[in-house]
Structure 1
Amino acid sequence: MRARRSRGEGPAVIHSLLRPTARVLPRAPLTAGVALGLLVAALPRLLPDAESQLLGLALLRATALAFALGLTFLLDDPARPTTEAVPTGRQVRTWLRAALALPAAALGWCAALLLIPQAARPPLADVTAEAAALTATALALAAAAARRSSETRPGRIAVQVLPVLVVAGILLPERWGLFVAPGSPEWDAAHDRWAAVLLVALTLWTASVREPIRRRALRNGFGRGMLRP
Protein backbone atom coordinates (compact mmCIF):
# COMPACT_ATOMS: atom_id res chain seq x y z
CA MET A 1 0.00 0.00 0.00
CA ARG A 2 2.86 2.33 0.84
CA ALA A 3 4.52 1.79 -2.56
CA ARG A 4 1.22 2.40 -4.32
CA ARG A 5 0.73 5.64 -2.41
CA SER A 6 4.27 6.83 -3.25
CA ARG A 7 3.72 6.24 -6.93
CA GLY A 8 0.50 8.21 -6.78
CA GLU A 9 2.16 11.11 -5.00
CA GLY A 10 4.52 11.85 -7.92
CA PRO A 11 2.04 13.58 -10.24
CA ALA A 12 0.53 15.45 -7.30
CA VAL A 13 3.93 16.79 -6.25
CA ILE A 14 4.77 17.85 -9.80
CA HIS A 15 1.38 19.54 -10.18
CA SER A 16 1.93 21.44 -6.94
CA LEU A 17 5.32 22.65 -8.20
CA LEU A 18 4.10 23.90 -11.59
CA ARG A 19 2.92 27.34 -10.54
CA PRO A 20 5.81 28.26 -8.20
CA THR A 21 8.36 26.97 -10.72
CA ALA A 22 6.77 29.00 -13.52
CA ARG A 23 6.91 32.11 -11.30
CA VAL A 24 10.65 31.83 -10.62
CA LEU A 25 11.75 31.13 -14.19
CA PRO A 26 14.24 33.80 -15.38
CA ARG A 27 11.84 35.29 -17.90
CA ALA A 28 13.99 38.28 -18.92
CA PRO A 29 16.92 36.36 -20.48
CA LEU A 30 14.65 33.65 -21.88
CA THR A 31 12.40 36.23 -23.55
CA ALA A 32 15.38 38.27 -24.75
CA GLY A 33 16.94 35.21 -26.39
CA VAL A 34 13.76 34.34 -28.27
CA ALA A 35 13.08 37.96 -29.24
CA LEU A 36 16.62 38.46 -30.56
CA GLY A 37 16.47 35.20 -32.47
CA LEU A 38 13.17 36.12 -34.13
CA LEU A 39 14.51 39.55 -35.03
CA VAL A 40 17.50 37.95 -36.75
CA ALA A 41 15.26 35.47 -38.59
CA ALA A 42 13.06 38.34 -39.80
CA LEU A 43 15.93 40.18 -41.51
CA PRO A 44 15.31 38.63 -44.97
CA ARG A 45 11.80 40.09 -44.88
CA LEU A 46 13.38 43.54 -44.59
CA LEU A 47 16.05 43.09 -47.26
CA PRO A 48 15.45 43.15 -51.02
CA ASP A 49 16.19 39.93 -52.89
CA ALA A 50 17.36 38.12 -49.75
CA GLU A 51 16.74 34.65 -51.10
CA SER A 52 20.17 33.12 -50.69
CA GLN A 53 20.06 29.73 -48.98
CA LEU A 54 23.48 30.47 -47.49
CA LEU A 55 22.09 33.65 -45.93
CA GLY A 56 19.04 31.79 -44.64
CA LEU A 57 21.25 29.14 -43.03
CA ALA A 58 23.50 31.76 -41.42
CA LEU A 59 20.49 33.60 -39.98
CA LEU A 60 18.90 30.42 -38.64
CA ARG A 61 22.18 29.41 -37.02
CA ALA A 62 22.38 32.85 -35.42
CA THR A 63 18.78 32.45 -34.28
CA ALA A 64 19.54 29.05 -32.75
CA LEU A 65 22.52 30.55 -30.92
CA ALA A 66 20.39 33.43 -29.57
CA PHE A 67 17.79 30.96 -28.29
CA ALA A 68 20.50 28.80 -26.71
CA LEU A 69 22.16 31.78 -25.02
CA GLY A 70 18.82 32.71 -23.47
CA LEU A 71 18.36 29.15 -22.23
CA THR A 72 21.74 29.12 -20.47
CA PHE A 73 20.02 31.15 -17.74
CA LEU A 74 17.22 28.61 -17.23
CA LEU A 75 18.63 27.26 -13.96
CA ASP A 76 19.39 30.62 -12.35
CA ASP A 77 17.84 30.59 -8.90
CA PRO A 78 18.71 33.28 -6.32
CA ALA A 79 16.92 31.17 -3.68
CA ARG A 80 19.07 28.11 -4.35
CA PRO A 81 20.75 28.04 -0.89
CA THR A 82 17.32 27.78 0.76
CA THR A 83 16.01 25.00 -1.51
CA GLU A 84 18.90 22.51 -1.35
CA ALA A 85 17.38 20.58 1.55
CA VAL A 86 13.73 20.59 0.52
CA PRO A 87 12.01 17.18 0.20
CA THR A 88 11.57 17.51 -3.60
CA GLY A 89 14.88 16.74 -5.27
CA ARG A 90 16.80 19.09 -7.54
CA GLN A 91 16.43 16.63 -10.40
CA VAL A 92 12.64 16.97 -10.41
CA ARG A 93 12.79 20.75 -10.11
CA THR A 94 15.35 21.02 -12.90
CA TRP A 95 13.46 18.81 -15.34
CA LEU A 96 10.30 20.77 -14.56
CA ARG A 97 12.02 24.04 -15.48
CA ALA A 98 13.08 22.56 -18.79
CA ALA A 99 9.59 21.18 -19.44
CA LEU A 100 8.10 24.63 -18.90
CA ALA A 101 10.60 26.58 -21.02
CA LEU A 102 11.32 24.31 -23.97
CA PRO A 103 7.82 24.32 -25.54
CA ALA A 104 7.98 28.11 -25.82
CA ALA A 105 11.44 27.86 -27.37
CA ALA A 106 10.15 25.24 -29.83
CA LEU A 107 7.28 27.52 -30.85
CA GLY A 108 9.74 30.37 -31.31
CA TRP A 109 11.89 28.16 -33.52
CA CYS A 110 8.90 27.23 -35.68
CA ALA A 111 8.15 30.95 -36.08
CA ALA A 112 11.77 31.58 -37.05
CA LEU A 113 11.60 28.90 -39.76
CA LEU A 114 8.48 30.53 -41.17
CA LEU A 115 10.11 33.98 -41.18
CA ILE A 116 12.83 32.79 -43.54
CA PRO A 117 11.57 33.09 -47.15
CA GLN A 118 10.92 29.71 -48.71
CA ALA A 119 13.59 30.17 -51.38
CA ALA A 120 16.20 30.91 -48.70
CA ARG A 121 15.37 28.02 -46.38
CA PRO A 122 18.09 25.40 -45.91
CA PRO A 123 17.12 21.76 -45.21
CA LEU A 124 14.84 22.36 -42.22
CA ALA A 125 15.29 19.00 -40.50
CA ASP A 126 19.06 19.35 -40.53
CA VAL A 127 19.15 22.92 -39.28
CA THR A 128 16.61 22.02 -36.58
CA ALA A 129 18.96 19.22 -35.48
CA GLU A 130 21.70 21.85 -35.16
CA ALA A 131 19.40 24.03 -33.06
CA ALA A 132 18.48 21.08 -30.83
CA ALA A 133 22.15 20.26 -30.26
CA LEU A 134 22.95 23.89 -29.39
CA THR A 135 20.00 24.02 -27.00
CA ALA A 136 21.00 20.77 -25.30
CA THR A 137 24.58 22.03 -25.00
CA ALA A 138 23.43 25.27 -23.39
CA LEU A 139 21.30 23.41 -20.85
CA ALA A 140 24.06 20.89 -20.15
CA LEU A 141 26.58 23.67 -19.49
CA ALA A 142 24.18 25.39 -17.10
CA ALA A 143 23.40 22.12 -15.29
CA ALA A 144 27.10 21.25 -15.00
CA ALA A 145 27.88 24.71 -13.61
CA ALA A 146 25.04 24.39 -11.09
CA ARG A 147 26.15 20.93 -9.98
CA ARG A 148 29.83 21.74 -9.57
CA SER A 149 29.44 25.02 -7.71
CA SER A 150 27.17 26.82 -5.29
CA GLU A 151 26.61 29.54 -7.89
CA THR A 152 23.04 30.80 -7.77
CA ARG A 153 23.31 32.07 -11.34
CA PRO A 154 25.06 29.33 -13.31
CA GLY A 155 23.90 30.99 -16.50
CA ARG A 156 26.69 33.54 -16.12
CA ILE A 157 29.20 30.69 -16.50
CA ALA A 158 27.39 28.84 -19.28
CA VAL A 159 26.78 31.99 -21.36
CA GLN A 160 30.55 32.56 -21.52
CA VAL A 161 31.44 28.98 -22.44
CA LEU A 162 28.85 28.41 -25.18
CA PRO A 163 30.13 31.07 -27.64
CA VAL A 164 33.68 29.71 -27.19
CA LEU A 165 32.46 26.24 -28.18
CA VAL A 166 30.60 27.68 -31.18
CA VAL A 167 33.69 29.56 -32.38
CA ALA A 168 35.74 26.38 -31.95
CA GLY A 169 33.18 24.54 -34.07
CA ILE A 170 33.38 27.21 -36.78
CA LEU A 171 37.18 27.01 -36.87
CA LEU A 172 37.30 23.25 -37.31
CA PRO A 173 38.53 22.00 -40.71
CA GLU A 174 35.62 21.20 -43.04
CA ARG A 175 36.21 17.44 -42.92
CA TRP A 176 35.63 17.56 -39.14
CA GLY A 177 33.47 20.65 -39.10
CA LEU A 178 29.95 21.31 -37.85
CA PHE A 179 29.05 24.56 -39.58
CA VAL A 180 29.30 23.50 -43.20
CA ALA A 181 27.58 25.16 -46.16
CA PRO A 182 24.57 23.72 -48.01
CA GLY A 183 25.67 21.61 -50.93
CA SER A 184 28.97 20.71 -49.29
CA PRO A 185 29.96 17.04 -49.63
CA GLU A 186 30.45 17.13 -45.85
CA TRP A 187 26.86 18.19 -45.15
CA ASP A 188 25.53 14.76 -44.17
CA ALA A 189 28.68 13.85 -42.22
CA ALA A 190 28.52 17.17 -40.38
CA HIS A 191 24.99 16.41 -39.26
CA ASP A 192 26.07 13.01 -38.03
CA ARG A 193 28.52 14.95 -35.88
CA TRP A 194 25.70 17.25 -34.76
CA ALA A 195 23.78 14.14 -33.66
CA ALA A 196 26.82 13.09 -31.63
CA VAL A 197 26.98 16.56 -30.03
CA LEU A 198 23.30 16.25 -29.11
CA LEU A 199 23.86 12.82 -27.55
CA VAL A 200 26.86 14.01 -25.52
CA ALA A 201 24.98 17.11 -24.34
CA LEU A 202 21.94 15.09 -23.26
CA THR A 203 24.22 12.66 -21.39
CA LEU A 204 25.94 15.54 -19.61
CA TRP A 205 22.57 17.13 -18.79
CA THR A 206 21.20 13.87 -17.36
CA ALA A 207 24.30 13.33 -15.24
CA SER A 208 24.41 16.93 -14.03
CA VAL A 209 20.81 17.26 -12.89
CA ARG A 210 21.12 14.30 -10.53
CA GLU A 211 21.21 15.16 -6.84
CA PRO A 212 24.78 15.19 -5.48
CA ILE A 213 25.26 12.48 -2.83
CA ARG A 214 25.85 14.95 0.00
CA ARG A 215 22.71 16.94 -0.77
CA ARG A 216 20.71 13.76 -1.34
CA ALA A 217 21.64 12.57 2.15
CA LEU A 218 20.74 15.98 3.58
CA ARG A 219 17.37 15.96 1.81
CA ASN A 220 16.60 12.40 2.92
CA GLY A 221 17.48 13.30 6.48
CA PHE A 222 15.20 16.32 6.26
CA GLY A 223 12.37 14.14 4.98
CA ARG A 224 12.80 11.57 7.77
CA GLY A 225 12.84 14.35 10.32
CA MET A 226 9.54 15.65 8.99
CA LEU A 227 7.99 12.18 9.32
CA ARG A 228 8.95 11.67 12.95
CA PRO A 229 6.13 12.07 15.42
Structure 2
Amino acid sequence: MIELVARTCPAEAAPRALWSASWWVVRRPALVVPAALALVLVLGTAPALDDGYGLRVLRGVGVLLACAWVTTTDDPSGEVLAGSPYPRAVRSVTRFLAGGAAVGAAWLVAAAVVQWRAPEVPVLALGVEFLALAAVGLGLGATLRAWRDQQHPAYTAVVGLAVLAFLSSALPRWYALQQSQTWGPPWEAAQVRWAAVLLVAVGVLGLALRDPLARARARRT
Protein backbone atom coordinates (compact mmCIF):
# COMPACT_ATOMS: atom_id res chain seq x y z
CA MET A 1 0.00 0.00 0.00
CA ILE A 2 2.84 2.41 0.85
CA GLU A 3 4.60 1.59 -2.42
CA LEU A 4 1.42 2.30 -4.39
CA VAL A 5 0.94 5.63 -2.63
CA ALA A 6 4.59 6.52 -3.16
CA ARG A 7 4.23 5.90 -6.92
CA THR A 8 1.10 7.99 -7.30
CA CYS A 9 1.99 10.87 -4.98
CA PRO A 10 4.61 13.60 -5.36
CA ALA A 11 7.86 13.08 -3.46
CA GLU A 12 7.00 15.78 -0.92
CA ALA A 13 3.76 13.96 -0.05
CA ALA A 14 5.48 10.64 0.61
CA PRO A 15 6.24 11.27 4.32
CA ARG A 16 2.60 12.20 4.92
CA ALA A 17 1.51 9.02 3.14
CA LEU A 18 3.89 6.96 5.29
CA TRP A 19 2.57 8.58 8.46
CA SER A 20 -1.06 8.02 7.42
CA ALA A 21 -0.39 4.38 6.56
CA SER A 22 1.45 3.83 9.88
CA TRP A 23 -1.40 5.36 11.88
CA TRP A 24 -3.86 3.19 10.00
CA VAL A 25 -1.89 0.12 11.11
CA VAL A 26 -1.48 1.03 14.79
CA ARG A 27 -4.96 2.38 15.55
CA ARG A 28 -6.22 -1.05 16.55
CA PRO A 29 -8.12 -2.19 19.64
CA ALA A 30 -4.82 -3.59 20.95
CA LEU A 31 -3.61 0.00 21.36
CA VAL A 32 -6.87 1.87 21.89
CA VAL A 33 -8.34 -0.40 24.58
CA PRO A 34 -5.39 -0.30 27.06
CA ALA A 35 -5.03 3.45 26.53
CA ALA A 36 -8.74 3.96 27.18
CA LEU A 37 -8.57 1.74 30.27
CA ALA A 38 -5.66 3.82 31.58
CA LEU A 39 -7.72 7.00 31.26
CA VAL A 40 -10.74 5.34 32.87
CA LEU A 41 -8.52 4.17 35.73
CA VAL A 42 -7.12 7.59 36.53
CA LEU A 43 -10.38 9.49 36.01
CA GLY A 44 -12.43 6.93 37.93
CA THR A 45 -10.10 7.04 40.93
CA ALA A 46 -9.52 10.81 40.83
CA PRO A 47 -11.48 11.47 44.06
CA ALA A 48 -9.23 9.01 45.97
CA LEU A 49 -5.89 9.99 44.50
CA ASP A 50 -5.11 12.35 47.37
CA ASP A 51 -5.59 9.50 49.89
CA GLY A 52 -2.25 7.88 49.05
CA TYR A 53 -3.32 6.03 45.90
CA GLY A 54 -1.85 8.45 43.36
CA LEU A 55 1.48 6.63 43.13
CA ARG A 56 -0.11 3.23 42.57
CA VAL A 57 -2.64 4.51 40.07
CA LEU A 58 -0.09 6.34 37.95
CA ARG A 59 2.15 3.28 37.94
CA GLY A 60 -0.77 1.17 36.80
CA VAL A 61 -1.48 3.71 34.08
CA GLY A 62 2.16 3.48 33.01
CA VAL A 63 1.99 -0.30 32.67
CA LEU A 64 -1.21 -0.15 30.63
CA LEU A 65 0.14 2.55 28.32
CA ALA A 66 3.45 0.73 27.90
CA CYS A 67 1.54 -2.40 26.85
CA ALA A 68 -0.47 -0.31 24.40
CA TRP A 69 2.69 1.20 22.93
CA VAL A 70 4.32 -2.21 22.51
CA THR A 71 1.54 -3.29 20.13
CA THR A 72 3.07 -0.96 17.52
CA THR A 73 5.89 -3.50 17.07
CA ASP A 74 3.48 -5.66 15.04
CA ASP A 75 4.22 -5.43 11.32
CA PRO A 76 1.25 -7.20 9.67
CA SER A 77 2.20 -5.96 6.19
CA GLY A 78 5.93 -6.54 6.55
CA GLU A 79 6.21 -9.13 3.82
CA VAL A 80 4.12 -7.08 1.40
CA LEU A 81 6.08 -3.88 2.08
CA ALA A 82 9.52 -5.49 1.99
CA GLY A 83 10.05 -4.05 -1.50
CA SER A 84 8.71 -0.58 -0.70
CA PRO A 85 10.97 2.49 -0.88
CA TYR A 86 10.94 2.69 2.91
CA PRO A 87 13.27 0.33 4.83
CA ARG A 88 11.93 -1.68 7.74
CA ALA A 89 13.59 0.62 10.30
CA VAL A 90 11.82 3.69 8.90
CA ARG A 91 8.46 1.92 8.86
CA SER A 92 9.00 0.65 12.42
CA VAL A 93 10.03 4.03 13.82
CA THR A 94 7.06 5.70 12.13
CA ARG A 95 4.70 3.17 13.72
CA PHE A 96 6.36 3.73 17.10
CA LEU A 97 5.94 7.50 16.76
CA ALA A 98 2.33 7.21 15.62
CA GLY A 99 1.41 5.00 18.55
CA GLY A 100 3.58 7.03 20.89
CA ALA A 101 1.66 10.19 20.04
CA ALA A 102 -1.59 8.64 21.25
CA VAL A 103 0.03 6.96 24.26
CA GLY A 104 1.91 10.13 25.18
CA ALA A 105 -1.26 12.19 25.09
CA ALA A 106 -2.98 9.71 27.41
CA TRP A 107 0.02 9.81 29.78
CA LEU A 108 -0.03 13.61 29.92
CA VAL A 109 -3.73 13.61 30.80
CA ALA A 110 -3.21 10.99 33.52
CA ALA A 111 -0.15 12.78 34.92
CA ALA A 112 -2.02 16.09 35.00
CA VAL A 113 -4.92 14.55 36.92
CA VAL A 114 -2.60 12.89 39.44
CA GLN A 115 -0.56 16.07 39.86
CA TRP A 116 -3.74 18.03 40.46
CA ARG A 117 -5.16 15.62 43.02
CA ALA A 118 -1.88 14.45 44.63
CA PRO A 119 0.91 17.03 44.17
CA GLU A 120 3.29 14.96 46.29
CA VAL A 121 3.48 12.19 43.66
CA PRO A 122 6.80 12.40 41.71
CA VAL A 123 5.25 12.49 38.25
CA LEU A 124 8.54 13.03 36.40
CA ALA A 125 10.18 10.04 38.08
CA LEU A 126 7.19 7.85 37.27
CA GLY A 127 7.45 9.12 33.70
CA VAL A 128 10.97 7.66 33.55
CA GLU A 129 9.59 4.34 34.83
CA PHE A 130 6.91 4.40 32.14
CA LEU A 131 9.44 5.16 29.39
CA ALA A 132 11.76 2.42 30.64
CA LEU A 133 8.97 -0.18 30.60
CA ALA A 134 7.86 0.92 27.15
CA ALA A 135 11.43 0.87 25.83
CA VAL A 136 11.93 -2.68 27.11
CA GLY A 137 8.73 -3.81 25.39
CA LEU A 138 9.57 -2.02 22.15
CA GLY A 139 13.11 -3.39 22.23
CA LEU A 140 11.88 -6.94 22.80
CA GLY A 141 9.31 -6.65 20.02
CA ALA A 142 11.82 -5.15 17.59
CA THR A 143 14.34 -7.87 18.46
CA LEU A 144 11.81 -10.62 17.74
CA ARG A 145 10.91 -8.89 14.49
CA ALA A 146 14.53 -8.54 13.40
CA TRP A 147 16.09 -11.83 14.49
CA ARG A 148 13.10 -14.18 14.57
CA ASP A 149 11.27 -12.63 11.61
CA GLN A 150 7.99 -12.50 13.57
CA GLN A 151 5.35 -10.31 11.98
CA HIS A 152 3.37 -10.13 15.26
CA PRO A 153 5.93 -9.93 18.09
CA ALA A 154 3.72 -7.78 20.33
CA TYR A 155 2.09 -10.80 22.02
CA THR A 156 5.42 -12.08 23.34
CA ALA A 157 6.70 -8.57 24.05
CA VAL A 158 3.66 -7.71 26.18
CA VAL A 159 4.18 -10.89 28.22
CA GLY A 160 7.82 -9.94 28.77
CA LEU A 161 6.76 -6.45 29.78
CA ALA A 162 4.25 -7.84 32.29
CA VAL A 163 6.95 -10.08 33.79
CA LEU A 164 9.28 -7.08 34.17
CA ALA A 165 6.52 -5.02 35.80
CA PHE A 166 5.94 -7.85 38.29
CA LEU A 167 9.62 -8.40 39.05
CA SER A 168 10.21 -4.67 39.49
CA SER A 169 8.17 -4.78 42.69
CA ALA A 170 8.79 -8.40 43.75
CA LEU A 171 12.52 -8.02 44.37
CA PRO A 172 13.80 -7.22 47.89
CA ARG A 173 13.34 -3.62 48.95
CA TRP A 174 16.97 -2.60 48.45
CA TYR A 175 17.02 -4.04 44.91
CA ALA A 176 13.45 -3.43 43.75
CA LEU A 177 12.84 -1.03 40.90
CA GLN A 178 9.49 0.09 42.28
CA GLN A 179 9.64 1.85 45.64
CA SER A 180 6.65 3.00 47.64
CA GLN A 181 8.79 5.43 49.65
CA THR A 182 9.55 8.35 47.36
CA TRP A 183 12.58 9.68 49.19
CA GLY A 184 15.85 8.48 50.64
CA PRO A 185 18.64 6.25 49.26
CA PRO A 186 16.38 3.35 48.15
CA TRP A 187 14.28 5.69 46.00
CA GLU A 188 17.33 7.39 44.52
CA ALA A 189 18.96 4.03 43.76
CA ALA A 190 15.75 2.83 42.11
CA GLN A 191 15.72 5.87 39.83
CA VAL A 192 19.30 5.15 38.79
CA ARG A 193 18.32 1.56 37.99
CA TRP A 194 15.32 2.72 35.95
CA ALA A 195 17.55 5.09 34.00
CA ALA A 196 19.98 2.22 33.34
CA VAL A 197 17.12 0.00 32.14
CA LEU A 198 15.95 2.78 29.82
CA LEU A 199 19.40 3.31 28.31
CA VAL A 200 20.01 -0.41 27.78
CA ALA A 201 16.57 -0.90 26.23
CA VAL A 202 17.08 2.02 23.85
CA GLY A 203 20.44 0.56 22.85
CA VAL A 204 18.90 -2.85 22.15
CA LEU A 205 16.11 -1.17 20.19
CA GLY A 206 18.64 0.68 18.07
CA LEU A 207 20.53 -2.54 17.30
CA ALA A 208 17.32 -4.35 16.39
CA LEU A 209 16.36 -1.60 13.96
CA ARG A 210 19.63 -1.80 12.06
CA ASP A 211 19.46 -2.74 8.40
CA PRO A 212 19.61 -6.56 7.99
CA LEU A 213 22.35 -6.25 5.37
CA ALA A 214 24.44 -4.15 7.76
CA ARG A 215 24.03 -6.80 10.48
CA ALA A 216 25.06 -9.52 8.02
CA ARG A 217 28.16 -7.58 7.02
CA ALA A 218 29.04 -7.03 10.68
CA ARG A 219 28.77 -10.76 11.40
CA ARG A 220 31.05 -11.60 8.45
CA THR A 221 33.68 -9.19 9.64
Query: After TM superposition, is the score higher than 0.5?
Result: yes
Shift of 1:15: 3.5
Partner of 2:148: 149
RMSD over equivalenced CA pairs, Å: 2.5
1:84 alignment partner, SS class: helix
Query: What 5-or-longer segments of structure 1 have no aligned partner?
Result: 1-8, 218-229
The residue type paired with residue 106 of structure 2 is G
Decide whether the 8 Å contact of 1:72 with 1:158 is kept in 2: yes
Decide whether the 8 Å contact of 1:57 with 1:121 is kept in 2: no
Equivalences for 1:100-115 in 2 at 5 Å? 100-115=98-113
The residue type paired with residue 112 of structure 1 is A
Shift of 1:155: 0.6
Distance of aligned partners of 1:183 and 1:169 in 2 relative to their CA distance in 1, 3 Å threshold: closer
Q: Distance in 2 between matches of 1:23 and 1:183?
A: 40
1:197 corresponds to 2:219: no
The residue type paired with residue 130 of structure 1 is E
The residue type paired with residue 27 of structure 1 is R
Equivalences for 1:130-209 in 2 at 5 Å? 130-185=129-184, 186-209=186-209
Distance of aligned partners of 1:11 and 1:173 in 2 relative to their CA distance in 1, 3 Å threshold: farther
Q: Distance in 2 between matches of 1:207 and 1:11?
A: 29
Mean Cα displacement is larger for which, 20-29 or 173-182? Answer: 20-29
Q: Distance in 2 between matches of 1:19 and 1:110?
A: 23
Decide whether the 8 Å contact of 2:41 with 2:57 is kept in 1: yes
1:78 corresponds to 2:82: no
Q: Distance in 2 between matches of 1:70 and 1:16?
A: 23
Shift of 1:137: 1.4
Decide whether the 8 Å contact of 1:129 with 1:194 is kept in 2: yes
Q: Distance in 1 between matches of 2:118 and 2:91?
A: 42
Decide whether the 8 Å contact of 1:57 with 1:122 is kept in 2: yes
1:74 alignment partner, SS class: helix
The residue type paired with residue 103 of structure 2 is A
1:92 corresponds to 2:90: yes
Decide whether the 8 Å contact of 2:54 with 2:121 is kept in 1: yes
Partner of 1:223: none
Aligned residues: 206
Mean Cα displacement is larger for which, 180-189 or 102-111? Answer: 180-189
When normalised by structure 1's length, the TM-score is 0.81
Partner of 1:226: none
Q: Distance in 2 between matches of 1:82 and 1:93?
A: 12
Decide whether the 8 Å contact of 1:33 with 1:71 is kept in 2: no
Mean Cα displacement is larger for which, 193-202 or 129-138? Answer: 129-138
Shift of 1:141: 1.4
When normalised by structure 2's length, the TM-score is 0.83
Distance of aligned partners of 1:81 and 1:214 in 2 relative to their CA distance in 1, 3 Å threshold: farther
Percent of aligned pairs sharing the same letter: 28
Decide whether the 8 Å contact of 2:72 with 2:154 is kept in 1: yes
Shift of 1:114: 2.3
Decide whether the 8 Å contact of 2:122 with 2:182 is kept in 1: no
Mean Cα displacement is larger for which, 208-217 or 15-24? Answer: 208-217
Distance of aligned partners of 1:16 and 1:42 in 2 relative to their CA distance in 1, 3 Å threshold: closer
Shift of 1:121: 4.8
Q: Distance in 2 between matches of 1:130 and 1:65?
A: 9
Shift of 1:216: 8.6
Query: What 5-or-longer segments of structure 2 have no aligned partner?
Result: 1-9
Partner of 1:224: none
